[in-house]
Amino acid sequence: MIRDLILKNRSYRRFDESAVMDESTLRDLVDLARHSPSGANLQGLKFILSWTPQKNAIIFPCLRWAGYLKDWGGPEAGERPAGYIILLGDTDISKNFGVDHGIACQSMLLGAVEKGFGGCIFGSVRRDELRKQLDIPEQYEILLVLALGKPVEQVMVDEVGADGSIKYWRDEQAVHHVPKRALDDLIL
């Protein structure tokens, strides 16, 4: 069960933008993050939710999509995320958020997949622009952005090939391939 969910939880970057993501779905996902582990139980993460076309349109250009796909600038209109969760660190609570935001993202992604959605984590974010556009106070460090929607792309996990490349790529049918290292190569 958990294995199925984790295997299905790929990074999806093309969505059916007409499949609406509402506030209550996003709140449910944040509630999963709330119940996730937190270093020293400080719980310094805060979240900004977006599910309206207007706010989504502000966040979209602040993300850098699929760095390895050099000839692809991100999803076209109609295939863009239907919602976002911006993960912030509240510096009034802590100055160092450790790995809390990564754990929170994975919890929320697994919850999204279980609900029939999917998404992608963004660490490559135009932070200054996002802060300005959404008027995010300096008290909050912008950590990660989670883009969410109903995936329309097929993603395949492959084993890393003889050339050793870990770069994801797309084939002629626009299937997205993600090379993963073999289990025996990970365990020392």
Ligand X SMILES: Cc1cc2nc3c(=O)[nH]c(=O)nc-3n(C[C@H](O)[C@H](O)[C@H](O)COP(=O)(O)O)c2cc1C
Contacting residue, 65, 152, 154, 160, with ligand X by CB under 6 A: 65
Inter-residue contact 89 to 101 (CB < 8 Å) = yes
- The answer to whether 10 contacts ligand X (rule: CB under 6 A) is yes
Q: What number of chain residues touch ligand X (CB under 6 A)?
A: 14
Contacts for 102 with CB less than 8 Å, ≥ 6 apart:
121, 144
Shortest Å, Cβ 120 to ligand X:
5
- The answer to whether 48 contacts ligand X (rule: CB under 6 A) is no
Instruction: Please say which residue, 67 or 137, places its beta carbon nearer to ligand X.
Output: 67
Instruction: Please say which residue, 26 or 63, places its beta carbon nearer to ligand X.
Output: 63
Sign of CA dihedral 23, 28, 32, 34: positive
- The answer to whether 121 contacts ligand X (rule: CB under 6 A) is yes
- The answer to whether 150 contacts ligand X (rule: CB under 6 A) is no
Give me the helices (H) in 46-90, please. Answer: 53-59
- The answer to whether 58 contacts ligand X (rule: CB under 6 A) is no
Shortest Å, Cβ 30 to ligand X:
18
Q: Helix, strand, or coil here: 37?
A: coil
Instruction: Please say which residue, 124 or 154, places its beta carbon nearer to ligand X.
Output: 124
Strands (E), the chain: 15-16, 45-50, 83-90, 118-122, 140-151, 155-159, 169-170, 176-180
Residues that bind ligand X (CB under 6 A): 10-11, 64-66, 102, 120-124, 155, 168, 178
